Structure 1
Amino acid sequence: MQSKSDSGWAVWLRRVAGAGLAVVALVLAWSHGMLYVEGGSMRPALYPGDLIVYTRVAAEPQQGDLTVFAHDGDLVVHRVVGVEPDGSLRMRGDANAAADVEPVDRNDVRGVVVAVVPAGRVACSLVSAAE
């Protein structure tokens, strides 16, 4: 006897859902990026091991935004703490006492953080609880 999950309708529905998810994944891959946090300069907002999602499209960082930017061949996430008269951005890691020495040119901005998966924070909490 054929199960309900093997009926033509269910198979068709699974295929349509799978195709829809594939399209959503492609759009998100084009419009968003993901980064794994490695350093501790953004504690307590971000922990090493956290995963961030950032928008690549129409990224116009404002003061206070967590912003992804290119610096010496790497991608860095710091908070915008000011805008210079020439339009460049003054950045600072939350755990740092002072702003970064060099402002960031807007052309070096790759996106603005829109979501954080706190995997690193959870790991740190578990390790602390075990000690």
Structure 2
Amino acid sequence: MIRRLLLGAAVSIVLFTVGVAGLGWKPYVVMSESMAPAMHAGDLVFVDPNAQSVAQYEIVTYDGPPGPITQRVVSQRPDGALTLKGDANPPADSPTVDRHRVVGPVRLILPHAGWPVMQVRTHPVKIALGALLLALLVPGRRIFGLLLLGGLVAAVAMVPTTG
């Protein structure tokens, strides 16, 4: 029963991921509360890098100095530069963002779906030790379990994050 449930969940995740990848959307995990209440730390967002334009009040992800940042468009200048603001931040960001730095608008938000990525990024040693302990305690096929858990942790760690 539990194996069927886990297999069904795994197949659903793979089919969903393949479907979203077919659209060309990029996944990002939100790591801060700067966009609360629209999105929270641990949410998984999908960004459309093929979008031709962005609208005022739309949420976008752009390449910032520390890495990808997700914020709301407050205004757009005639030259295409955007003024952005985090929903939880009182003032808008002072420097504008050139349109060529925008990855794209956020098309889908999955609440809490990025939680495993947050845990791997913030507590990598605890996660690795927990995975190792779990693989050693589960009887049979320990090598396979270790490889599977190691691959899962590595795959989760490779999902990009946004502030």
Aligned-pair identity in percent equals 31
Larger Rg: 1
Where does 1:59-70 land on structure 2 (aligned, <5 Å)?
Answer: 59-70=52-63
Gaps of 5+ in 2: 1-10, 116-163
Normalising by structure 2, report the TM-score: 0.56
Is 1:48 aligned with 2:41? Answer: yes
Q: Matches of 1:119 and 1:95 in 2, distance apart?
A: 18
**Candidates 75, 80, 83, aligned match of 1:82:** 75
Where does 1:1-131 land on structure 2 (aligned, <5 Å)?
Answer: 25=18, 28=21, 31-119=24-112
Q: CA RMSD in A?
A: 2.6
Aligned to 2:151: none
More helix by share: 2
Runs of 4+ residues deviating >4 angstroms? none
Gaps of 5+ in 1: 1-17, 123-131
SS of the aligned residue for 1:25 comes to: helix
Shift of 1:31: 1.4
Shift of 1:60: 1.3
Aligned residues: 101
Q: Matches of 1:81 and 1:116 in 2, distance apart?
A: 20
Deviations 1:41-69 (A, max 9, x none): 10000100000011111241110110000
Amino acid at match of 1:106: R
Amino acid at match of 2:88: A
